[in-house]
Amino acid sequence: MNCEQAQENLGPYVDGELAPDACTALEVHLEDCDTCRAELATVRKLASDLAPQVDTLVPENLWTAIEQRLDEAGEATPPTARRPRWRVGRAPYALAAAVVFAVGLSLVGLVWTGSSAHASTVDFSVLLNGLPLDANQAFGKFLALYDAREGSLADARQYAPDLSFDIPDLLPGGFHLQAIYLLRFGKLEGVAAAYDRDGEFLGAVFHRPVAKEHFGQHKDYPCVVGKHDGHKVSVGAWRLVHLTDPTTCHCVLSRLDERTELPDVMAAVAPALPEGTGRHGH
Amino acid sequence: MIEHDLLERCRAGNRDAQRELYDQTSAPIYRLLLKMTASPDDAFDLAQETYLKAFTQLGRFDGRSSLATWLYRVAVNEALQFLRRAKQTRVKLQELAAEDCAASENGRTTARLDVNNALAMLPPNDRAMLLLRYQEGLNYRSIAATIGCAEGTVASRLNRARERLRNLLQNSYEWEGSDSPMHPKDRC
Ligand SMILES: [Zn+2]
């Protein structure tokens, strides 16, 4: 691979859209080429400069303006008998999404009481599908699917004594803990945590390795994080990375780079990962 | 994933359902329009158009893309049409950027073309590509569905847009270090 070809592939590489063999070829080239490595840094910088820095507030009167025009156009049926907008049980997704939207992630577990007894599988597709629109919200839907309720770290340890995980208040890179959740994947206990770094979401899910993972239409590729082999699914700038030790699969959803920021974060939430396993999880 | 039942109720014109769909999606849609136009007023107007169009055309949504992608598509089309009709934003922003560039300290001109200014100076199509990818986090397949281009062309379109953005930024950075800019307007 020459520099021109390498540089054409840098964008797709950073975007998680490059096929695995092309990734390997590019990485080989990058090992030896300062120019292309510098170029890669520039592409990454541009990507992070373009990422939303602060939450944009939607003007409060926008809906009023839309509603007024709907009324004028006579498009909508008159407001129906005011049934509660978010109903427990009937529409779990809408409920979770709405609650997350309205008051943030921390309440999801408290109000969601529906049941969705899935066999011992962990289906990430609802999470992955929702990422392009709103990761925080997508994570809320995922939690709702598995009957999440909020708890403390002590609650989580007591609830899932067989899992090895840590949920520090502050992760490397400056992510602050927002909430801890106790989940149920069929017969198996799971634990999840939500973090925030100035509006940038990071989520962690811990489950027993025996639980089968599903990723919908998304492709799951092998990857290396620090000294550990794992696997990952990329959706846009988001990646869901899994590292497994004998008792626990540690899944972290973030926009962090696998080579730079992610290894420290994984080490912080997965303290019992054996050094340099060289083995592929699941 | 936006619930099937919610879609059906929106299609039937149920106001509560429309509000619910709006609540779930308006933050990213407004954010995209704001960056496309660089004007809160224009973004406000275009967001109205987007939802009115979405509610009336929801019957045509075939479910091949996600509803989120479809909404992005309606919004991007509104924005591109608007920008074509009135090239004002580009001109306005170029003026703004030029003002920034002309700010001088101790007789030395400093350029402060930040990524947002540079973004606003790009051709609208390039801007849409970069925003969909890096602000909204869409994958290439969804970008293709949103823009209405072949998935295979997304990478090269993004490369081109990125290159143009970098040129704008680089010129301003270089200029920051130089002592006597000859043609500030040209550089910015
Ligand atoms: Zn090279």
Is residue A204 classed as helix, strand or coil in its secondary structure?
strand
Q: Which residue has the higher pLDDT, B126 or A209?
A: B126
Structure ipTM over 0.85, yes or no: no
pLDDT digits (tens, 9 = 90+) for A219-247: 888 888 888 888 999 888 899 999 988 88
Instruction: Give dist(CA A134, CA A127) in Å, integer.
Output: 10
Amino acid at B165: L
Chains A and B form CB pairs within 8 A to the count of 152
Higher per-residue confidence, A136 vs A24: A24
Centre of ligand 1 from the C-alpha of residue A5, in Å = 8
Contact present, B52 and A73 (Cβ < 8 Å): yes
Q: Which of A42, A58, A232 to mutate to test the interface with B (most CBs of B within 10 A)?
A: A58
A71: pLDDT strictly greater than 80: yes
Cβ(B160)–Cβ(B126) below 8 Å: yes
Nearest C-alpha in A relative to B157 = A11
Which chain A residues are within 8 Å of B70, Cβ to Cβ? Answer: none
Would you state the pLDDT for residue B175? 42
Return the ∠ at Cα B60 (arms to B59 and B62), rounded to 5°.
105
In this prediction, residue B93 carries a pLDDT of 55
Dist. CA A28–CA A51, nearest whole Å: 28
A235 strand-pairing partners: A238
Q: What would the pLDDT profile of B141-152 be if each residue is shown by its tens digit?
A: 999 999 988 999
Q: Mean pLDDT throughout A41-65? A: 89
Helix (H) or strand (E) segment spanning residue A42: helix A34-50
- A158 Cα: distance to centroid of ligand 1 (angstroms): 52
- Contact of A54 with chain B, judged by CB distance below 8 Å, is answered with no
Residue B91 has pLDDT above 90, yes or no: no
Strand partners for A254: A239
Say if CB A192 and CB A204 are below 8 A apart. Answer: yes
Give the CA count within 13 Å in the CB-facing half-sphere of A7. Answer: 14
pLDDT of residue B52: 94
Answer whether residue B128 shows pLDDT above 90: yes
A56 contacts on B by Cβ (under 8 Å): 27, 30-31, 34
Q: What are phi and psi of B101, to 5 degrees?
A: -65, -30
Fill in the amino acid letter for B188. C
Residue A218 sits at φ, ψ, to 5 deg, of -85, 145
Query: Residue B90's pLDDT band (boundaries 50, 70, 90)?
Result: low
Q: Which residues of B touch A55 (CB under 8 A)?
A: 27
Query: For chain A, give me the number of helices (H) and strands (E)?
Result: 10, 11
Residue A210 belongs to what H/E stretch? none
Q: Does B20 touch chain A (CB under 8 A)?
A: yes
pLDDT exceeds cutoff 80 at A19: yes
User: For an interface test with A, which of B9, B74, B117, B162 has the most A Cβ atoms less than 10 Å from its Cβ?
Assistant: B162
Q: How confident is the model at residue A150 (pLDDT cuts 50, 70, 90)?
A: confident
Query: Is B53 an 8 Å CB contact of chain A?
Result: no
Lowest mean pLDDT among A50-59, A253-262, B46-55, B82-91: B82-91
CB B133 within 8 A of CB B119: no
* Residues A201-225 pLDDT 10s: 999 999 988 778 888 878 888 888 8
**Closest alpha carbon to A158 in A185, A180, A187, A186:** A180
- Cα(A131)–Cα(B1) distance, integer angstroms: 10
User: What average pLDDT does the segment B60-87 reach?
Assistant: 86
Question: Min CA distance, A90 vs chain B (Å)?
Answer: 10
Q: Is the pLDDT of residue B63 over 90?
A: no
* Confidence band of B97 (pLDDT split at 50, 70, 90): low
Of A134-143, B109-118, B147-156, B164-173, where does the model show the most confidence?
B147-156
Adjacent-strand bridge partners of A212: A121
Tallying the residues shown for chain B, one arrives at 188
Distance CA A159, CA B141 (A): 40
Domains and CATH numbers, chain B: 1-86 (1.10.1740.10), 87-188 (1.10.10.10)
Distance CA A273, CA A225 (A): 12
CB atoms under 10 Å from CB of A39, counted, come to: 16
Which has more pLDDT, B170 or A189?
A189
Q: In this predicted structure, what is the pLDDT of residue B157?
A: 96
pLDDT at B94: 55
pLDDT tier, A76 (very low <50, low <70, confident <90, very high otherwise): very low
Question: Is B137–A62 a contact, with Cβ atoms under 8 angstroms apart?
Answer: no
Q: Which has the minimum average pLDDT: A86-95, A145-154, A241-250?
A: A86-95
Q: Of B68, B21, B24, B27, which is closest to residue B47 (Cα–Cα)? A: B27
> Which carries the bigger pLDDT value, residue B180 or residue B111?
B111
Instruction: Note the pLDDT tens digit of each residue in B20-30.
Output: 999 999 999 99
Res A119 pLDDT > 70: no
The DSSP-derived string for chain B is ---HHHHHHHHTT-HHHHHHHHHHHHHHHHHHHHHHHS-HHHHHHHHHHHHHHHHHHGGG--SSS-HHHHHHHHHHHHHHHHHHH-THHHHHHHHHHHHHHH-EETTEE-----HHHHHHHS-HHHHHHHIIIIIT---HHHHHHHHTS-GGGHHHHHHHHHHHHHHHHHHHHHHHH-S--S-HHHH-
